[in-house]
Amino acid sequence: MLHTEEKLLNLEGRLHISIVMALFSSLTPVFIAIICVLIGAILKKTNGEKEKHETKSKPLSHPWVDEDLKDGTDHHSEEEVVDEEWQGLEENVAHVPFFAERYSEAEMIKRSQMFYELLNKRRSVRFLSDEPVPREVIDNVIRTAGTSPSGAHTEPWTFVVVQEPYLKHKIREIVEEEEEINYKKRMGDRWVNDLKRLRTNWIKEYLDTAPYLILIFKQVYGQLPNGKKKTHYYNEISVSIACGILLAALQNAGLYTVTSTPLNCGPQLRVLLQRPANEKLLLLLPVGYPKKDATVPALTRKPLEDIMVVM
Amino acid sequence: MLHTEEKLLNLEGRLHISIVMALFSSLTPVFIAIICVLIGAILKKTNGEKEKHETKSKPLSHPWVDEDLKDGTDHHSEEEVVDEEWQGLEENVAHVPFFAERYSEAEMIKRSQMFYELLNKRRSVRFLSDEPVPREVIDNVIRTAGTSPSGAHTEPWTFVVVQEPYLKHKIREIVEEEEEINYKKRMGDRWVNDLKRLRTNWIKEYLDTAPYLILIFKQVYGQLPNGKKKTHYYNEISVSIACGILLAALQNAGLYTVTSTPLNCGPQLRVLLQRPANEKLLLLLPVGYPKKDATVPALTRKPLEDIMVVM
């Protein structure tokens, strides 16, 4: 009798304990651990987004850095970037007297007038002959583009000159494939399209015929001697300005081109041309003479009063 | 005896059940619910980031639109934009034969060489004289910049020319105020700074002395005849290219400048110069002759082999 009663009391006690523990199972620590991990993941993502957002907006507010002010007029908030600005060179650059060409006022008016007339003849030409062009001219126009100013004098450009037929053809295949996909996507919206005329638009014969293709890459960052990343302030604006100088040089030399950015195939072209990860394709310029039967659209340019405001 | 035994069996049964249920407490559903909510939150954030990332990257993947292809090689995902591309004009533009100037190979080599030598003398000059410059030259160099190609021939630029001393001074005040704030923020990080030398960097005397300030605004969008917004493809690249042509024109005419983007004061300058909401300041070029004692930093430019890759 006693043994049974003892056992009874024992069981009752254990049952009470079990009921109390019903609120907290042996899996409870596991659940709590899982919850903590998930909360940690959420907080991490939230912080990551905030950082990404700040990082994305800051480059847009970075000012142009005058090329002779490498110790910068830039506004930086990232520690790393501030370090790079203050490194060496900038604080040690000597200033030297500058001697400039000086023309009479009449000469200036004449020169500026003639240069305008020369550049006003420039048109984008998509029908290029395969007639060869002297390589020396290409070298000179690219040297000229390289005289462009750039943020903090970073000179963040690479001009890739392609003349080899097989490689030009690979480029053409890549570009046309992307363009065709794009046109067909948009054609779905417009049943009144003239297919034949559209087809012309994604065929880029000039990529095969032009004697040279100049692919202009921007270096989105560089490398410092100590291995750290070097900020390339305003690299896109710098490289675009260099492209403007290149276009002036081409026109001056009697060569023609069309300024284009192949849709979405920048990365493929970067890989094809074996450019490093810090370079991104910005523009593609096929260069050569116009075909004998080349045409251009009948466009007009805005008059001076539409583009200039004097205060 | 029987009653006790029954009770014993009962308790043992309940204990077994309790032990089995020890794995799953009454809080278990609560834990599971919390875990589900947290997983849901994480998935939502991950999708949100993906969308944001795609949206942000799409404008960057918009291709340059050749100026004679206004019905566009652009890849658009916004419905509204696709509508604008197909409007009127593009499909009706006639093509006309293009006649180009043609030089002999020797001439081309010579012209390109001379143009390079001219442009290679260009430097950014921050010490500008107040000597007046013929207005006609300014008109011509801006006309020349206006010959630049642009995405879909949008010509998305406004060149604001400031010659009035009071207005130039207001611009100087705005710019210097921003630059000073910026320098002081960064100086906090660097106690070894030479204050006097830094002070020089935020003082922009040329904003008062240069006879002309050219403020280049980009039109981030335009307006169609029907009142809808007109997309200005690649407006920043277009305006930067135009700036490159402007720099070549200035150098050709014997005028000097420094390419700058005033820190953070774009909106203030837009308001001061009464430019509309669709315009944003991109670059500020003070234009004039160099001072007699002007200096430039002793910088060198990369040689051709460092900027050109031939394949």
Per-position DSSP letters for chain B, written without gaps between them: -HHHHHHHHHHHHHHHHHHHGGGS-TTHHHHHHHHHHHHHHHHHHHHHHHHHHHHHHHHHHPPP--TT-TT-------HHHHHHHTSTHHHH--EEE-------HHHHHHHHHHHHHHHHT------B------HHHHHHHHHHHTTS--GGG---EEEEEE--HHHHHHHHHHHHHHHHHHHHHHHTT-TT--HHHHHHHH--THHHHSSEEEEEEEESEEE-TTS-EEE-TTHHHHHHHHHHHHHHHHHHHT-B---B--TT-HHHHHHHTT--TTEEEEEEEEEBPBPTT-EEE---PPPHHHHEEE-
> What integer pLDDT is reported at residue A211 of this predicted model?
98
Confidence of residue A92 (pLDDT cuts 50, 70, 90): low
Residue A94 inside a domain? The answer is no
Specify whether A117 is located in the same domain as A228: yes
Residue B186 domain-assigned? Answer: yes
Same domain, A159 and A26: no
pLDDT at A169: 98
Residue A197 in domain: yes
pLDDT in the model for residue B146 = 98
Is residue A9 domain-shared with residue A28, that is, in the same domain? yes
Q: Are residues A210 and A247 in the same domain?
A: yes
Q: How many CB pairs under 8 A join A and B?
A: 482
Residue B93 lies in a domain: no
Residues A164 and A22 in one domain: no
Average pLDDT, chain A: 80
Q: Give me the domain span that covers residue B150.
A: 67-78+106-293
Do B288 and B269 share a structural domain? Answer: yes
Q: Identify whether A34 is part of a domain.
A: yes
Q: What's residue B86's pLDDT? A: 33
Based on the fold, state whether residues A20 and A113 are members of the same structural domain: no
Instruction: Encode A139-201 in three state secondary structure.
Output: HHHHHHHCCCCCHHHCCCEEEEEECCHHHHHHHHHHHHHHHHHHHHHHHCCCCCCCHHHHHHH
Same domain as B74, residue B30 = no
| Chain A residues within 8 A of B21 when measuring between CB atoms | 22, 25
Mean pLDDT calculated for residue range B44-54: 53
pLDDT in tens, A240-261: 999 999 999 999 999 999 999 8
Question: pTM, whole model, 2 decimals?
Answer: 0.73
Cβ–Cβ below 8 Å for B147 and A120: yes
* pLDDT surpasses 80 at A27: no
Task: Give which of A46, A73, A96, A141 to mutate to test B binding, by max B Cβ within 10 Å.
Answer: A73
Which of B85, B186, B234 has its CB closest to that of A76? B186
Contacts of A189 (CB under 8 A, 6+ apart): B82
- Residues of A numbered 177-236 whose beta carbons fall under 8 angstroms of chain B's beta carbons: which are they? 179, 182, 185-186, 189-190, 194, 198, 201-202, 234, 236
Q: Does B303 map to a domain?
A: no
Q: Tell whether A54 and A131 lie within a shared domain.
A: no
pLDDT of residue B19: 64
Exposed, middle or buried, B52 (CB in 10 Å: 0-12/13-18/19+)? middle
- The owner of tokens 């190609």 is B149
Angle between helices B235-253 and A105-120 (to 10 degrees): 140
User: Residue B77's pLDDT is what?
Assistant: 34
Looking at residue B13, what is its pLDDT?
65
- Any domain includes A131: yes
- Of A139-143, B21-25, B189-193, the range with the lowest mean pLDDT is B189-193
B78 touches chain A (CB under 8 A): no
Q: Is the pLDDT of residue A287 over 80?
A: yes
Residue B15 touches partner A, C-beta closer than 8 Å? yes
CATH of the domain at A240: 3.40.109.10
Is residue B147 domain-shared with residue B19, that is, in the same domain? no
- How many domains is chain A partitioned into structurally? 2
Q: pLDDT tens digit string along A172-188?
A: 999 999 888 877 776 55
Same domain, A51 and A72: no
| A30 & A71 share domain | no
Could you tell me if residue B83 is inside a domain? no
Q: What is the pLDDT of residues B188-204, one digit of tens each?
A: 555 444 455 545 577 89
